[in-house]
């Protein structure tokens, strides 16, 4: 990572922790929720969010939802966070394979990507079931890097009520993890949604997170051109274009569903409607 970017993305961990804990408390109070539920995966993002939640309120619950593609190490790492957070009696382990298999069979597919997204959406259903049962909110674990890239399952791990670390890049979340006492082996573990065996985020994207975060910061916060970013980071222009493409094509994941507006004025008389829609033959 360019030293200039590394310095720009350096955070005051204590100040950030204090702010996020207060925001969580305030949000629960304002929404009338009693607390929050988090899905622990054994990765750095969910570990950080789980510990922030435990600092914010005693009313927290962790769900571990392993599947056949979940490495045993991930379950063990998630349990380390349960213990670190003082979560004994405040967690459940629910293997999800039987639910995933039933839905995949109903959909008539064994495509690994489709099945992987079913796994993410099954987890979302369970998180919301527990949240409703407990009077809690679903606290999401997505970080800024994943949100910008669209590297999450729509209505899966993207289906949450709040995103405490959604304005922190992956490299910043790692800094926060150290401040919170997350074990170094979890911080350094290659990020992976583990939706199929051997999957890693950096392997799938084809770029390491330090480079990803540098590109995202320079392109979308400093608004530098692709050519300038490539030159500053010493990477091929195609790498910058790959990241740009992911940000653009996954914009729909970051927005609520598009509503095709009809109210207010007659179709065809309103400048808001493009001319190509005026004389549509139905």
- CB proximity list for 200: less than 8 A, separation 6 or greater: 190, 191, 192
Residue from 207, 224, 123 nearest 171 by CA: 207
Contact at 8 Å (CB) between 61 and 68? Answer: no
In a domain, 16, yes or no: yes
pLDDT tens per residue, range 216-251: 999 999 999 999 999 999 999 999 999 999 999 999
In angstroms, the first-to-last Cα distance of the chain is 54
What is the span of the domain harbouring residue 74?
A: 12-190
In a domain, 123, yes or no: yes
pLDDT tens per residue, range 131-140: 999 999 999 9
Alpha carbon distance 269, 277 (integer Å) = 11
pLDDT tens per residue, range 12-55: 999 999 999 999 999 999 999 999 999 999 999 999 999 999 99
User: How many structural domains comprise the chain?
Assistant: 1
Contact at 8 Å (CB) between 152 and 129? Answer: no
E runs forming strands in the chain: 35-39, 60-64, 91-93, 136-138
CATH of the domain at 115: 3.40.50.620
In a domain, 236, yes or no: no
Angle between helices 226-233 and 209-220 (to 10 degrees): 140
In a domain, 4, yes or no: no
């Amino acid at each position: 990572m360019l030293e200039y970017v590394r310095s720009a993305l350096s955070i005051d961990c204590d100040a950030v922790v204090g702010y996020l804990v207060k925001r969580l408390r305030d949000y629960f109070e304002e929404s009338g929720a009693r607390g929050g539920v988090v899905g622990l995966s054994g990765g750095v993002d969910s570990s950080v969010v789980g510990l922030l939640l435990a600092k914010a309120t005693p009313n927290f619950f962790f769900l571990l939802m392993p599947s056949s593609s979940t490495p045993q190490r991930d379950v063990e790492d998630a349990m380390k966070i349960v213990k670190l957070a003082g979560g004994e009696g405040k967690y459940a382990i629910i293997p999800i394979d039987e639910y995933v298999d039933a839905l995949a069979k109903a959909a008539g597919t064994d495509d690994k990507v489709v099945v992987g997204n079913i796994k993410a959406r099954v987890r979302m259903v369970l998180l919301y079931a527990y949240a409703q049962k407990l009077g809690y909110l679903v606290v999401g674990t997505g970080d800024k890097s994943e949100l910008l890239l669209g590297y999450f399952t729509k209505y899966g791990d993207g289906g949450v009520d709040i995103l405490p670390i959604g304005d922190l890049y992956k490299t910043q979340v790692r800094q926060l993890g150290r401040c919170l006492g997350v074990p170094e082996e979890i911080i350094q573990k290659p990020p992976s949604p583990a939706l199929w065996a051997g999957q890693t985020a950096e392997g799938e994207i084809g770029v390491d997170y330090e480079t990803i975060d540098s590109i995202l910061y320079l392109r979308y916060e400093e608004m530098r051109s692709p050519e300038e970013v490539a030159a500053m980071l010493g990477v091929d222009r195609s790498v910058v274009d790959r990241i740009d493409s992911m940000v653009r094509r996954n914009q729909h994941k970051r927005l609520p569903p598009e509503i095709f507006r009809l109210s207010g004025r007659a179709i065809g008389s309103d400048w808001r409607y493009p001319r190509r829609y005026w004389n549509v033959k139905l």
